[in-house]
Amino acid sequence: MTATSYPVIRRNGGCGVETHRPFAATATALRRPLRAEGWYRRSSGRDICPDCWKAGRR
């Protein structure tokens, strides 16, 4: 097995920023550290990157 896959979180509906963490096996495991970095998740299911959140583009 050489192929590696990992979840990617994208700031959807906005700037399109993508982020991922190689150690995160699932999207749920990925969102935990991202939250500490300033990412947010709207109740609608949208992920908001820190820059957009600070700029008020929610």
Quick check: 17 binds Zn ion (CB under 5 A)? yes
Contact 11, 47 (CB under 8 A): yes
Q: Kindly report the backbone phi and psi dihedral angles of residue 41, in degrees, each rounded to the nearest multiple of 5, phi listed first.
A: -125, 120
Closer by beta carbon to Zn ion, 15 or else 27: 15
CB of 2 to Zn ion, least distance (A): 33
Among 6, 12, 15, 21, binds Zn ion (CB under 5 A): 15
Contact 49, 15 (CB under 8 A): yes
Q: Which residue has the tokens 């709207």?
A: 42
Q: Which residues bind Zn ion (CB under 5 A)?
A: 11, 15, 17, 49, 51-52
